[in-house]
Structure 1
Amino acid sequence: MRTAEFDKEFVLRQAMAMFMLHGYAKTSMQKLTQATHLHPGSLYGAFGNKKGIFLAATEQYQTDRNTQFTALFEHSNCILDTLKQYLNIIVQECIDGEATKVCLLTKSISEVEGNDPQICHVLRTNLTAYEHAFAQQLQKAIDNKEITNGRSAIELARFCVMGIYGLRTYALTNQDPDALNQLADELLAAIS
């Protein structure tokens, strides 16, 4: 039997886009085959089922976001300046219409909560990893005396992650650049 050859990252990013746009439940195999340009047999052969595609797409999403986050902070001399830059990227995604996709993790966890323990576990694990990545950067800012408010890095990270997800959710109903930038600035001010 011949092994199907395709660009796995492309396929997963296309599947990711479908899950972000339609949600897990409303993303059919037909939508996935149209988006990925693969036959159903190829998708089933590579990923097993829709859940397998979703879990692989979630892993790709987290890899992509981690790469973006790490690259941004990798050579940062001022964590707060880089955090402002990161928030600007999120605001721009919201303004450019990316807000209609919200975030694969948050959209999915609210949809499948309690329905599939394996998916919930994967989503929570990814959200916790995101929080810890923030905590590492914020600890650097505390160590460098950029942040002197007495709050721990993990407290600040939780607040920051909550604010980012709130910002993305708010942008679903209001994509006004001034309002979104103001909220991002207020989030940064509350952290620092």
Structure 2
Amino acid sequence: MRVAEFDREFVLRQAMLAFTQCGYAKTSMQKLTQVTGLHPGSLYAAFSNKKGVFLAAIEQYQTDKNQQFNAFFCNNAPVLPNLRAYLALVVTECLGGDSMKVCLLTKSITEVEGQDSQISKVLSDNLNAYEQAIAFQLNRAITQHEITPNRSAQQLARFFAMGLYGLRTYALTNNNAKDINQLADDLFSVISN
């Protein structure tokens, strides 16, 4: 049997967009063939089914987001300016017109929770890993005396992650730049004091 050749990252990023725009349940294999440009047989051969495409798209999404996050912290520079720059990127994404301003993980977990335990676990694990990456950086900030250790790095990371998810969700109904920037400033202020 001949193995189909295609740009896997491109295909998965197109699938990410479809799942983000339509949700898991409303994204059909027909929609996935349309957005990826692959024939149905190629999609099935590479990913078995829609769930396989979705899980691979989540993996690619997390890889992309990890690289994006880590790019802000790839040196030993102080953490807080880098965290502020990362938050500014999130604000820019929130104010942008594209569908990626919504976190695919948080959007999907609310849709599939209780319906598919494997998908729910993958999404939850990825969200927990994101929180741990934030906690690692905040722990560095505490160690470097950038933040007063009134709360643990884990507590701060949990609050910061919640704030980011909330900011993205809020931006769906209120795309006012002044409001979004004020919320981001408030979030950063709580973390950095």
Normalising TM by the smaller chain, what interval? over 0.9
Deviations 1:93-129 (A, max 9, x none): 1111236651110000000010000000000000000
Distance 1:145 1:39 in 2: 55
Which amino acid letter does the alignment assign opposite residue 18 of structure 2? M
Question: What residue in structure 1 maps to residue 22 of structure 2?
Answer: 22
Which amino acid letter does the alignment assign opposite residue 41 of structure 1? G
**Cα pair 2:14 2:36 within 8 Å, conserved:** yes
**Cα pair 2:105 2:123 within 8 Å, conserved:** yes
**Cα pair 2:21 2:99 within 8 Å, conserved:** no
* Cα distance change on mapping 1:73 and 1:86 into 2, 3 Å: same
Question: What residue in structure 2 maps to residue 125 of structure 1?
Answer: 125
Moved more, 33-42 or 73-82: 73-82
Which amino acid letter does the alignment assign opposite residue 72 of structure 1? F
Question: What residue in structure 1 maps to residue 58 of structure 2?
Answer: 58
Question: What residue in structure 2 maps to residue 185 of structure 1?
Answer: 185
After TM superposition, the score normalised by the length of structure 2 is 0.97
**Cα pair 1:99 1:172 within 8 Å, conserved:** no
Distance 2:145 2:188 in 1: 15
Deviations 1:42-82 (A, max 9, x none): 00000000000000000000000001111111115121111
Distance 2:128 2:87 in 1: 19
Structure 2: state its 5+ residue gaps: none
Residue 16 of structure 1 and its aligned partner are, at CA, apart by 0.5
* Cα distance change on mapping 1:36 and 1:81 into 2, 3 Å: same
**Cα pair 2:15 2:57 within 8 Å, conserved:** yes
**Cα pair 1:100 1:172 within 8 Å, conserved:** no
**Cα pair 1:15 1:57 within 8 Å, conserved:** yes
* Cα distance change on mapping 1:14 and 1:99 into 2, 3 Å: closer
Counting only pairs closer than 5 Å after superposition, residues 29-44 of structure 1 correspond to structure 2 as: 29-44=29-44
**Cα pair 1:99 1:169 within 8 Å, conserved:** no
Distance 2:101 2:164 in 1: 14
Deviations 1:120-139 (A, max 9, x none): 00000000000000000000
Structure 1: state its 5+ residue gaps: none
Residue 25 of structure 1 and its aligned partner are, at CA, apart by 0.3
SS at match of 1:171: helix
Distance 2:76 2:14 in 1: 32
SS at match of 1:77: coil
Distance 2:140 2:60 in 1: 27
User: Residue 96 in 1 paired to residue 129 in 2?
Assistant: no
Taking only the aligned residue pairs, the percentage that are identical comes to 64
Report the count of equivalent residues.
Answer: 192
**Cα pair 2:29 2:40 within 8 Å, conserved:** yes
SS at match of 1:110: helix
Distance 1:99 1:187 in 2: 23
